[in-house]
Structure 1
């Protein structure tokens, strides 16, 4: 089966005729207000909504001004009733999963001061839906600095056939531990454990772990071996047809084992650019031709079962498959799912829709989103009544937020680079001319952006202030085909950086970007890219950028390649691709204003990167317009940040743009700024 081909048309605001002669938009003002710092800083209004297995309750994390986020729970029988809610004074809730119909597994973070190892510690608890019982189950004796330290928790398998027991995974730096968790008492009994070179890849609804992977090295070559067993008591046996070496490096991800133990469904791109869904025959050790594919994008997932048998307890037909288009899109094979999908597309036009169905489609949790439509949750009852639950950001919509477009632009070597372009609300190129531009590369770099609402708010922060925003899906991005992904190998700061420069130059050629008002902002790997933009301003990118802003950057290539990520597997897998042009070795070439901010609790892209860069800038480039600000107790990810953290760095960004960004500062001023810099700041 071949998914329908998506036809992407670049909109008329970047059509070819007469573009280069457009005048600068010095006086252009967006039609809506600028997204305020205090709105962007507060915890999300409603996020991460989920529906219980029986469809009788919906839960979500809710932000409340002045306190930590809470969990809010609605009864689907009467959505007009005030939901129950509960929270914690000492922990920030970051996520949850339904363990069964009456209990939640709640994930939280708590700051722990430990010198250079200070971090936000992962916590887990079992809670009743009304919060009347809250049982912390994350007590652990492991050294928070040792290899056995916990880096996260998750629900491995809900075991729908068992009443009071689930399988929970405890992710440690040294491997993953699977425990049988009694949801009433909190008792944990070890069920399985991987080494630091192994992973469990799939288990059925009864908790039979049927697939695992193991990474081994021989003569400098790393090879992944895949093993299968029919039950937990059966011996593991290797599947040679799924063996692969890392120098081949392609995607191979099992997504399902058939109930008769004859077939493994895999997402794979061994012989194709884009991942496809194929079947592996266990008896013959052979892989089939694709059974589902898309001509332009990666197949990302597949589900099995039906609307009447959601856990595939009796039969396991292919229910749907999805692909990573500009946003995730799915082909639904189940008649009920297909009918619901068509209904929702009519009811919520112009949005990207996902849904979770319960009770044969009687209760459906719906999420609708778009670049200028904040994630909004609904309950669809009996395919007749669509009830709004809440939104990530209330009061902002298409009228006040900027539109976005998926596009492709040519790099200097002819490679077609995907990207997303945001424009200010109310902008018309022919009337309003050129705009200041922010190029904003994503983190990762093995990641990508999409056309859903960006909950960092960063694209809309710039767009509602009159900037065009380009989010390049540069070579090295994951989920857009093997050519894009592998094209970034060992090209950090080099070809990967050229892709970002070339996107800015292309927008100049299209008459949208003002060549004298362009800057780069990025976070994490994006912060590395902004550091490279600053360091290349004395050479390969001279004259292109007015300033650069790096948030939580990993800057030192040598350090990155040997100290990468939160597991040894990731270091082997991704670390070997890290090489190229090193900004740390070229900081004497920084010629543009450069701001760096970093949280002192960041152990992911460790703070040592920014501290070392600041020290080196003082040594080799003391007269540069450079500033480093360290934000106390701020970790790496958005979910670990407090409103105070976000207020600090958003203020820093807008202050730098107003006062230290060359020609941009001549035409842009953020009113009412109150800079809140920590004591660890330097010119």
Structure 2
């Protein structure tokens, strides 16, 4: 589906949604049922599907009620047969990939109690497709070079398509990374390279020769990033000086491919443009050429090389695909097989965002289809004739009972155009139903963005199916929508970045879509900070705008956050120095609206100390505020690190707060089956 099919400017949205009705929609009811808490809290029915190199198997993670997720593996020869399945009592599987035709690498998380350092830690294992020979390759099986130099993650660096039983595995440690040759049968790991603290390995060829690495050098406060290249494992590293750049300048330059003849390096960069482009660097002449492909409205996000008959580009490596990050990821295909598959799938699955990975020249294709109101669904396309559904992340819910969404732009108060996504309740008609209550839901990051795929947090649809409009503003500071938008958030936390969110709500009021007396803000992580800013600005710049605010896992104390980022010198240069503006922690006495905070006590990313400190100070400086702080045991920061029980707890908290502590919203919204939890004093 092309973005132009659902791309709306502010002007066109004004035309599409007229101003004739000004009545409140207290009596409006969505045409479908509300998405239940017990449905949203369960693990996805299926996610993370992958297809084997030979196309004979598909593997995915599957959620089962009352137990940890399991791995399922189907034979593409006969999809009617029940899949093979295996699981773990102690580990929660979070992802997988094929490392050969007969082996999987499985990633998992496991909570570890360690006092102030309690967190969920990653693990990895190699398994046969039926779960036998489950070989743990985590910390206990790898020799540490220091007592505190523990493993923090894994990455398949190179599948080594010419070898069946060996891969190159990147083992990510506190002090850096090492590349090991991992024997898939025995688990033996032979280190072949290790980075220094200021290095990273970036590329290896089909034989496993590491040909590209990056290095950081610092002098007089300037951080310089340089690329080093070698043609063979015995050749000396040479700096590609034409690609050397300063990290302080804050542009991106990412390698996408080294040509098989070792003459060219393809990079995705926004060095001289607002939106990232694909360009070709000539190694011999040390020059970066003009853009090969670009999109004038969105960033080029990826490129692939090879053909449908040579997927690993071992013998031929033409540009096969390039993709850009529009409202959803879209791709341009050059291989005839891929072009034919794209056209076929767009006809078969209209109105969805389609991605696919083909095997055997297109004979076996793993297809992913999604949309804001179409839960991510996996299919197998066989021989370009038979489309077989494997499963969906959320079964039983689709366009009939989920709310539609639109991508559009609205003007901020200074005229800057802000991209946004607007969800509306299923069955809503503005002419007939009038104004809606609004939830503004800023994304986390803030160096991130939302898209028009199905939101696997369920939050937009949780609100939309309960009769709310939901605005996802891509405020200044969002990344992936151009350099100007991204850098526009520098040093504007709680200030200009926050104004963008307020302006989005006010713009929807002007369009007659939203009731100005029933608006709230909810966010998680950085979005939790934004909700904290909404609460603490309610006695000042945002006075009278919001009925309540809900902060999930927020950062609140800006100096603490900047210093934590500053513990890593590179992070401080890249992001920590941008973290300043309006500090909610210094304005807690200005909270004039009901405010809920919830936070996991195993959260070391947006550390729990932010919420604990804010709750303690609220008791001191604003004891009469309608405020509550709830800490959720053993919950970390990431979504895949939360259990169904933890999700049930915080989803219930959100809907309870909206029902009972959200001003005018609570007067017209009630979630059945919840008990009142009004708290007039800051409490734990």
Q: TM-score, normalised by structure 2?
A: 0.96
Displacement after TM superposition at 1:618 (Å): 1.3
CA-to-aligned-CA distance 1:120-146 (integer Å, 9 cap, x gap) = 111111110001221111034789998
Deviates more, 1:544-553 or 1:19-28: 19-28
Query: Measured at CA, do residues 309 and 142 of structure 1 come closer, stay the same or move farther in structure 2, by a change above 3 Å?
Result: closer
For the 8 Å contact 1:103–1:126, the answer to whether it is kept is yes
Displacement after TM superposition at 1:564 (Å): 2.8
Give 1:119's aligned residue.
119
Give 2:414's aligned residue.
413
For the 8 Å contact 1:566–1:604, the answer to whether it is kept is no
| In 1, Cα distance between equivalents of 2:659 and 2:32 | 20
CA-to-aligned-CA distance 1:332-387 (integer Å, 9 cap, x gap) = 00000000000000000000000000000000000000000000000000000000
The equivalences for 1:97-108 within 5 A come to 97-108=97-108
Query: Measured at CA, do residues 139 and 7 of structure 1 come closer, stay the same or move farther in structure 2, by a change above 3 Å?
Result: closer
The equivalences for 1:392-541 within 5 A come to 392-541=393-542
Displacement after TM superposition at 1:270 (Å): 0.9
Alignment partner of 1:33 is 2:24: no
Query: Measured at CA, do residues 642 and 7 of structure 1 come closer, stay the same or move farther in structure 2, by a change above 3 Å?
Result: closer
Give 1:641's aligned residue.
642
Displacement after TM superposition at 1:223 (Å): 1.4
For the residue of structure 1 that corresponds to 2:586, the secondary structure is helix
Give 1:57's aligned residue.
57
| In 1, Cα distance between equivalents of 2:647 and 2:145 | 26
| In 2, Cα distance between equivalents of 1:336 and 1:590 | 59
| In 2, Cα distance between equivalents of 1:630 and 1:486 | 34
Displacement after TM superposition at 1:233 (Å): 2.2
CA-to-aligned-CA distance 1:405-438 (integer Å, 9 cap, x gap) = 0000000110000000000000001110100000
Displacement after TM superposition at 1:567 (Å): 6.4
CA-to-aligned-CA distance 1:80-138 (integer Å, 9 cap, x gap) = 00001000000000111111000101100111100000011111111100012211110
For the 8 Å contact 2:138–2:151, the answer to whether it is kept is no
Deviates more, 1:11-20 or 1:421-430: 11-20
| In 2, Cα distance between equivalents of 1:568 and 1:73 | 43
For the residue of structure 1 that corresponds to 2:340, the secondary structure is helix
Query: Measured at CA, do residues 181 and 337 of structure 1 come closer, stay the same or move farther in structure 2, by a change above 3 Å?
Result: same
| In 1, Cα distance between equivalents of 2:433 and 2:200 | 54
Give 1:317's aligned residue.
318
The equivalences for 1:126-165 within 5 A come to 126-140=126-140, 148-165=149-166
Query: Measured at CA, do residues 32 and 16 of structure 1 come closer, stay the same or move farther in structure 2, by a change above 3 Å?
Result: closer
| In 2, Cα distance between equivalents of 1:4 and 1:681 | 46
Query: Measured at CA, do residues 334 and 432 of structure 1 come closer, stay the same or move farther in structure 2, by a change above 3 Å?
Result: same
Displacement after TM superposition at 1:231 (Å): 2.1
The equivalences for 1:232-631 within 5 A come to 232-564=233-565, 569-631=570-632
For the 8 Å contact 2:7–2:406, the answer to whether it is kept is no
CA-to-aligned-CA distance 1:143-163 (integer Å, 9 cap, x gap) = 999862322112111011112
For the 8 Å contact 1:173–1:566, the answer to whether it is kept is no
Alignment partner of 1:48 is 2:37: no
Query: Measured at CA, do residues 344 and 54 of structure 1 come closer, stay the same or move farther in structure 2, by a change above 3 Å?
Result: same
Query: Measured at CA, do residues 200 and 208 of structure 1 come closer, stay the same or move farther in structure 2, by a change above 3 Å?
Result: same
Q: TM-score, normalised by structure 1?
A: 0.96
| In 2, Cα distance between equivalents of 1:194 and 1:533 | 43
For the 8 Å contact 1:196–1:569, the answer to whether it is kept is no
Give 2:19's aligned residue.
19
| In 1, Cα distance between equivalents of 2:418 and 2:252 | 21
CA-to-aligned-CA distance 1:219-278 (integer Å, 9 cap, x gap) = 111111111111232211111111111231111111001111111100011111100000
Deviates more, 1:610-619 or 1:7-16: 7-16
Unaligned 5+ segments in structure 1 are: none
For the 8 Å contact 2:162–2:207, the answer to whether it is kept is yes
Alignment partner of 1:209 is 2:204: no
| In 1, Cα distance between equivalents of 2:379 and 2:566 | 36
For the 8 Å contact 2:104–2:126, the answer to whether it is kept is yes
Displacement after TM superposition at 1:8 (Å): 2.2
Deviates more, 1:391-400 or 1:562-571: 562-571
Alignment partner of 1:69 is 2:69: yes
CA-to-aligned-CA distance 1:57-86 (integer Å, 9 cap, x gap) = 000000000100000000000000000100
| In 2, Cα distance between equivalents of 1:674 and 1:230 | 67
For the 8 Å contact 1:176–1:194, the answer to whether it is kept is yes
Unaligned 5+ segments in structure 2 are: none
| In 2, Cα distance between equivalents of 1:407 and 1:344 | 26
